[in-house]
């Protein structure tokens, strides 16, 4: 099954996550089919906290990919932010 989930990057005490489309049987840091965005929980000042390619996420969900719980909440927040702007 194809999953849209977070994969951790960044250093110690400096988390940075890529939002990736991957096979659910692959390990968390393994190769991904496609990177569709990123999430920076410790963004400062003018740094973007969240960036997603909604068109690609919609494409993958229409072809049967499942989003993790955290990615689902991030997508909802990003859509709300995009419509407000």
Structural domains of the chain sorted by starting position, each given as residue range(s) with its CATH number in brackets: 2-84 (3.30.1320.10)
pLDDT over 80 (residue 40): yes
3-state secondary structure (DSSP) of residue 4: strand
At 83 the pLDDT is 86
Distance CA 60, CA 4 (A): 8
Quickly state the pLDDT bin for 27 (edges 50, 70, 90).
confident
Residue with the two structure tokens 């989003």: 67
Q: Among residues 29, 20, 37, 27, which one has the least CA distance to residue 77?
A: 37
At 63 the pLDDT is 94
At 31 the pLDDT is 83
At 71 the pLDDT is 96
At 65 the pLDDT is 93
Encode pLDDT of 41-79 as tens digits.
998 889 899 999 999 999 999 999 999 999 999 999 999
């Amino acid at each position: 099954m194809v999953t849209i989930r977070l994969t951790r990057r960044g250093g110690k005490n400096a988390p940075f996550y890529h939002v990736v489309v991957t096979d659910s049987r692959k390990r968390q840091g393994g190769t991904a089919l496609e990177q569709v965005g990123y999430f920076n929980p410790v963004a400062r000042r003018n740094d973007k906290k969240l960036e997603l390619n909604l068109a690609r996420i919609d494409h993958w969900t229409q072809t049967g990919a499942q989003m993790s719980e955290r990615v689902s909440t991030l997508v909802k927040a990003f859509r709300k932010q995009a419509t407000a702007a």
